[in-house]
Amino acid sequence: MGSTEKGNLTKNGLWFSMFIEEEEFIAFIPDSVLETHFNAHKKKKGTVAIYKENRERIHSIAQKKFREGHTRPIKLDDADFI
């Protein structure tokens, strides 16, 4: 199970892709989640840098939602990180 380094910024967050069982899927994490749960605003780093620093946790949660049958694309929110 690998993941890509790709990330596409939008004005509200970051779309990223990853592979589960050789199938690529996309997911979205809003800027507000990165700020709240990863202190992005305090670290004064860009969205992509914060994502890369926390990619393992972010991907783990996205994979869990995928396996639970959430609709695609997977969208992460604050409740996922509580």
Distance of CA 63 to the CA centre of its chain: 10
What's the mean pLDDT in 9-37? 87
Averaged pLDDT score across all residues of the chain: 84
| Domains along the sequence of the chain with CATH | 3-81 (3.30.160)
DSSP, residue by residue, 13-71: EEEEEEEETTEEEEEEEEHHHHHHHH-HHHHT--HHHHHHHTHHHHHHHHHHHHHTTPP
Q: Quick check: 19 pLDDT over 50? A: yes
Closest by CA to 71, choosing from 38, 28, 21, 35, is 28
Q: Quick check: 64 pLDDT over 50? A: yes
Q: Quick check: 2 pLDDT over 50? A: no
